[in-house]
Amino acid sequence: MGGTAFRTGKPSLSNDVVNDPRAQPWLPLVKKAGLSACAVFPLFVDCKPVAVMYFFFGGADRLDDEMIILMGRIVENVSFGLDVLKHDAERTAAEMHKERFARQLAALGATNEAITRATTREELFRRVCEAAVLGGNFASTIIALARSDSELLEVVAVAGPGRDSILDIRLSTHAHLPEGQGITGIAMRTRQPCISNDYLADFANNSLFHKRATARAIMSGAALPLMHGGEAFGALLFLSRERNTFTLELTQLLQRLADNVAFALENFDRADAKMLADQRIEYLASHDSLTDLPNRESFNQLLHFAIESARRQERKLAVLFIDLDRFKIINDSLGHDAGDRLLTEIGGRLRRSVRACDVVARLGGDEFVIILEDVAGREDVEGVARGLLRCLSEPIQLNGHECHVTASIGVAIYPLDGADIQSLTGNADTAMYLVKGDCKDGFRFFSRDARIQPIERLTMETNLRHAVERNELLLHYQPKVNLITSEVTGVEALLRWRHPDGTMVSPGDFIPLAEETGLIVPIGRWVLVEACLQNMAWQHEGARPVSMAVNLSPRQFVDERLFQDIDEALAVSGMSPSLLQLEVTESMVMQNVARAVRVLDAIENRGIHIAIDDFGTGYSSMSLMKQFPIDTIKIDRSFVRDLAHDLEDQAIAQAIISMGKALGMTVVAEGVETVEQQAFLRGHACDEMQGYLFSKPVPPGGITELLLPPCAVSPPLQPQAYGAHSPSGGRPEASAATGR
């Protein structure tokens, strides 16, 4: 794997190193170390692979997109560091060469010493002038750096009388003849000194400074090439009003001077590059590379300074923790590049929504934080929080899709909610999670009572992680009934949790937590197997086969193991795929229509039926729903509750029934509790109903007698039938991804 990554310059990945042929040479070590996955990334210096970096994973750890991106960024930083180290080494070598060269030119004495003491470009140019005048006994000399005949790089100095001529020289930077014909061009083209002891005669009509040279009576000149890598990048130019004789010794002295200038310029360039690299490293250490906002470490420092300032001035400040509500869905649906663009846009919106003196930072992932200094009170912060929510809710175009993002904001105020970094950030985080757990898309101030809820949430999460292994999870089943024949046509599996103390935990409490933590994926896998096994158990008891409906959660729907889990559940139970109906919500399939079509097509190709749950709440059109291979639509209970007297609900229900029937779908009404609701649905040709009027969700034993012959129940159905709650004495349980 390392050789492949080095040779191709691309990452080499494996989620099964034990069976990967590329890992065979070191298989004993893999097994001994208990490795399960491996990633090898090439390291680059100057855009060429020079080494590879290995990442090993053991146990159940696997490579996913987020981990691969994280490793890639680590490798990019390491490669950047190697580049810097290489340039450091080159600079060190250059400095050693400079020292050796200085010793070799010790004979130049004060001239060379003056040049090597230069620490900046400006000082170098000044010392060049001083050294040239001293070493060459020049008087009234113009010394300049030229890049070509047509471009004067910089006038270094004017020695001797007539120093006002420097202005005239600057104004005369234009060429009179083709490039390379003047004294500078000849020196650069031949890479040899170009000397003239009769400047006006030798270069009449073809000198860069011809007119000014004539006016200033330039009598002699010399151009020394500045070399780097075997090529001339400029010239050191000497023009004098005296007819000097450029002897061999003097020419050699000037060439050595030019060599030192070239070396010093290169060294200064390397120093500039090193300075820029150091500045970049320092910037990356304190800023987020994606959004250019301060990172977590920098935020903590800035908050420390803000607290100290507020303490001295006896003022208040606010910390706002911001977490995006739907980032993962967009990131998983449209890809990480789109997710990165979304985070960049969000960072920019936050920055533009607050004052220049306020701090906006990114802590990581989709978490941002804002420091508002010098706030008067809650009213000031409320205005800012509402403005942030409005700004973030504006649509964003990503990969041709219009995406809408909301946020949950938690607020803590200094000094009311804490007087140090840990207290303020922890309490703002707590308030944010309360918004996330309530309704999202809002903000909340920290309160003392709020601290208890995260502890309870953490305890529930810990208990939920052990619920499967302790056999605390169970399924109840709610029948679906044909509205014409009153025959039970199927059942829906609904998740329940019996706590170790014997109490039943509400699905509305633990299912959102399972979805948020990712526990819903292994739990949903267990639900699939258990429901299929129970359906077959009823058949073994003599019951007729009926449809088994199982809800898929949003995380299950995008999980890469979904198809494998479905196939395994059917294989373990022996249940026919035609008896399985998978229910997905309208909002789930509308997040990424193209991907949803692919997933639902793959499910339908297995002979499994598909139902859209909670229909009417996702704001999709029936024409769009035609793209999906749907067998059944379920009218959401919110449209059934007031059917007896609400004309708007009646119109909506009737429209859904009519459109569903027109598309050849089975239409099921959820939450039917009264005879009046049943009569309306039956009168408008709704196919099936589900609700407390017939039966609440019951344990498996309560379903068995419904499926044994005779299986029909003559209408009218009684509210108390099969242990159902009466309409006035009970209410439907909260809807959730895998339980109600």
Structure tokens that stand for 270 in this block: 């390397």
DSSP assignments along 467-497, one per residue = HTTTT-EEEEEEEEEETTT-BEEEEEEEEEE
In single-letter form, the type of residue at position 393 comes to S
C-alpha span between 4 and 143 (Å, rounded): 57
CB atoms near residue 474 (< 10 Å): 15
Say which DSSP state 736 is in: -
Euclidean distance between CA atoms 151 and 343, whole angstroms:
46
Residues forming beta bridges with residue 143, ordered by sequence position: 157, 238
- CATH 3.30.70.270 in the chain is located at 296-446
Residue 730 contacts by C-beta under 8 Å, 6 or more apart in sequence? 692, 696
Which pLDDT value is given to residue 149? 56
Instruction: Select from 3.30.450.40, 3.30.465.10, 3.40.50.80, 3.40.50.10860 the CATH code of 2-96.
Output: 3.30.450.40
Residue 413 near residue 321 (C-beta atoms within 8 A): no
State the number of CA atoms in the 13 A half-sphere of 222 facing the CB. Answer: 26
Cα distance between residue 445 and residue 385, in whole Å: 10
Beta carbons within 8 Å of 654's beta carbon, 6+ residues apart: 684
What are the residues facing 144 on neighbouring strands?
Answer: 155, 237
Q: For residues 632 and 661, what is the distance between their CA atoms, to the nearest angstrom? A: 10
The pLDDT score that the predictor gives to residue 282 is: 75
Q: Encode burial over 226-239: b for 16+ CB neighbours within 10 A, e otherwise.
A: bbeeeebbbbbbbb
If one looks up domain 105-274 in CATH, what number appears? 3.30.450.40
> Rounded to whole angstroms, how far apart are CA atoms 279 and 597?
49
> CA-CA-CA-CA torsion for 507, 509, 515, 516, nearest 10 degrees?
180
**Cβ(644)–Cβ(679) under 8 Å?**
no
Give the Cα separation of 333 and 327 in Å (integer).
Answer: 10
What does residue 462 show for φ and ψ, rounded to 5 degrees?
-60, -45
Q: Residue 140 to residues 110, 219, 424, 539, 667: CA-CA distances in angstroms?
A: 21, 11, 71, 113, 102
Q: Are 532 and 538 in contact (CB under 8 A)?
A: no
What gap in Å lies between CA 665 and CA 687, rounded to an integer?
A: 9
Place of tokens 């509402």: 386
The residue among 89, 15, 14, 1 whose CA lies nearest residue 53 is: 1
DSSP letter at 230?
T
Bridge partners of residue 221, in order along the sequence = 196, 239
CA neighbor of 407 nearest in space, from 378, 387, 371, 436: 436
Strands 688-690 and 580-585: unpaired
d(CA 352, CA 443): 19
The angle, 0 to 180 degrees and rounded to 10, between the axes of the packed helices 520-540 and 700-707 is 40
Return the SS3 of 2: helix
What are the tokens at 26? 């070191």
DSSP 57: E
Cβ-in-10-Å burial (0-12, 13-18, 19+) of 6 comes to middle
Give the predicted TM-score (pTM) of the model.
0.46
**105, 107, 280 from 251: Cα distances, Å:** 15, 15, 43
Question: Superfamily for 468-723?
Answer: EAL domain (3.20.20.450)
Q: Exposed, middle or buried by CB within 10 Å (0-12, 13-18, 19+), for 13? A: middle
Using CA atoms, how far apart are residues 586 and 395, in angstroms rounded to an integer? 20
CATH 3.30.450.40 domain residues, the chain: 2-96, 105-274
Looking at residue 66, its pLDDT comes to 82
- The residues of the chain that CATH labels 3.20.20.450 are 468-723
Closest by alpha carbon to 670, among 692, 649, 654? 692
What class is the 296-446 domain?
alpha beta
Q: Give the list of residues 6+ apart from residue 38 with CB closer than 8 angstroms, or none.
A: 1, 13, 14, 17, 20, 23, 54, 55, 56, 57
Q: Which two tokens stand for residue 168?
A: 């005239």
Contact 95, 203 (CB under 8 A): no
Q: Which helix (H) or strand (E) holds 457?
A: helix 452-467
State residue 179's pLDDT score: 52
The mean pLDDT values, 10 residues at a time, for the chain of 740 residues are 85 87 81 86 87 85 83 84 79 62 41 54 58 47 56 47 37 40 79 82 59 62 81 76 71 75 70 71 80 90 93 94 86 85 93 92 92 90 92 87 88 92 91 80 82 69 85 94 93 92 86 86 94 95 93 91 95 96 87 87 95 72 74 90 89 90 92 93 94 92 82 41 33 42
Closest residue by Cα to residue 670 from 733, 723, 618: 733
Q: Which residue has the tokens 């014997």?
A: 502
Give the torsion sign (CA, 469, 471, 473, 474).
positive
Measured between alpha carbons, how far apart are the two ends of the chain, in Å? 49
CA distance 71 to 307: 35
How many CB atoms sit inside 10 A of residue 271's CB?
15
**What one-letter code names the amino acid at 450?**
A
Render 574-608 in DSSP notation, one character per residue.
---GGGEEEEEEHHHHHHSHHHHHHHHHHHHTTT-
E strand or H helix at 452: helix 452-467
